[in-house]
Amino acid sequence: MTATGSVPGSQQGSDTQASQPQTSEMQAFKSRLKATWESGDYGIFAQYLEPGALVFLRGLNLKPGERLLDVACGAGQLVIPAAREGTDATGVDIASNLIAQARRRAEAERLSARFDEGDAEDLPYPAASFDVVSSLVGAMFAPRPELVAAELVRVCKPGGRIVLGNWTPSSFIGGMFRIMGRHIPPSALMPSPMLWGDEAVVRERLSSGLRELSVERTLYPFVYPFDPAKVVEFFRNFYGPTNRAFAGLDDAGQAALRADLEAHWTAHNQATDGTTRLESELLVVRGVRA
């Protein structure tokens, strides 16, 4: 989860602050994070991410009868297709409007998927409730990663699987957030979300409670039927962090941010036909609960 002046400009160092009690300052900060993810329209934004999400879903290797929890589920990009295949699937997200969207989608398709509003740092489920706990570029944006890691392990059954997909620091998306960070004052309240894409950091965060942990680097596709300039505008309109980043700047600042983002997308664009096609590195983390 993120907010103007938080994720794009978050600190790049360690995450020791995650173990601290939730102060009034942290409560206010998390309210801003919630507002960020409720801005834009992630349901529209995520439509172009669905092909990569379906590949990630297949990698969960769900078995009949298993219970799935998708943390920071957005508008149901993993839970809805999982439920279509008969999985007992639950999604949880901090954004009220995204949960409402996901519920409407499930009702329209008469799926039994469940969606709850909740915090990745304090999941609203008993211990050992799920066979598989997943998060695709979602839980990595919560401000206190030590709490997130503990919660992912807590709600997973012994012998169950935890599977995360996290942007790496050197990925295209990591570069995009660094660009936004140059235009937005940093926050000391959370470490960089991209640390979830650092293998050594992830192993340290998930070292307690797992009997196995492996990582794999893969490439996540971004394909848009319009040029990089329109992609940047699409992100501005529909992706919460980019939406709030632009909203926090004056006209000159917005123009500078737009120019930097357009240059970033253009430099990495592999398409030559007026569309946009590129890939961003993803660290896929797989653990087995002890």
Domain boundaries along the sequence of the chain: 10-289
Mean pLDDT across the chain: 93
pLDDT band at 259 (very low <50, low <70, confident <90, very high): very high
Q: What is the DSSP string of 77-144?
A: TTHHHHHHTT-EEEEEES-HHHHHHHHHHHHHTT---EEEE-BTTB-SS-TT-EEEEEEESSGGGSS-
pLDDT band at 10 (very low <50, low <70, confident <90, very high): very low
What is the per-residue pLDDT for 11?
46
- Taking the C-alpha atoms of residue 210 and residue 161, their distance in angstroms, rounded to an integer, is 9
What is the per-residue pLDDT for 188?
84
Name the packing angle between helices 228-238 and 240-247 (round to 10°). Answer: 90
Whether 93 and 117 have beta carbons less than 8 Å apart is answered as: yes
What is the per-residue pLDDT for 8?
53
Residue ranges in 121-275 assigned as alpha helix (H): 145-154, 172-183, 199-205, 228-238, 240-247, 251-268
- Taking the C-alpha atoms of residue 105 and residue 121, their distance in angstroms, rounded to an integer, is 26
Per the DSSP assignment, residues forming a β-bridge with 116 are 92
pLDDT in tens, 190-200: 999 999 999 99
Q: What is the DSSP string of 132-159?
A: EEEEESSGGGSS-HHHHHHHHHHTEEEE
What is the per-residue pLDDT for 2?
33
| φ, ψ dihedrals at 204, nearest 5° | -70, -45
Instruction: Give the pLDDT mean for 96-102.
Output: 97
Instruction: Give the pLDDT mean for 149-170.
Output: 98
Residue 117: CB atoms within 10 A of its CB come to 15
- Taking the C-alpha atoms of residue 178 and residue 71, their distance in angstroms, rounded to an integer, is 25
Residue of 132, 138, 137 lying closest to 163 (CA atoms): 132
Q: What percent of the chain has pLDDT over 90?
A: 89
The label of the residue with tokens 């990582």 reads 215
Residue 9 in this model has a pLDDT that exceeds 50:
no
What is the per-residue pLDDT for 23?
86
Instruction: Give the pLDDT mean for 249-254.
Output: 98
Q: Which two tokens stand for residue 127?
A: 């211990």
Instruction: Give the pLDDT mean for 36-52.
Output: 95
Q: What percent of the chain has pLDDT over 70?
A: 92
- Taking the C-alpha atoms of residue 24 and residue 52, their distance in angstroms, rounded to an integer, is 38
Amino acid at 17: Q
All residues at 6 or more sequence positions from 92 whose CB lies less than 8 Å from its CB, including other chains: 69, 70, 71, 72, 73, 115, 116, 117, 118, 120, 123, 124, 125
Residue 282 in this model has a pLDDT that exceeds 60:
yes
Instruction: Give the pLDDT mean for 232-239.
Output: 98
What is the per-residue pLDDT for 21?
56
- Taking the C-alpha atoms of residue 109 and residue 54, their distance in angstroms, rounded to an integer, is 18
Name the packing angle between helices 251-268 and 228-238 (round to 10°). Answer: 130
Residue 108 in this model has a pLDDT that exceeds 90:
yes
pLDDT band at 187 (very low <50, low <70, confident <90, very high): confident
**CATH of range 10-289; options 3.40.50.150, 3.40.50.1820, 1.20.140.10, 3.40.1190.20:** 3.40.50.150
What is the per-residue pLDDT for 69?
98
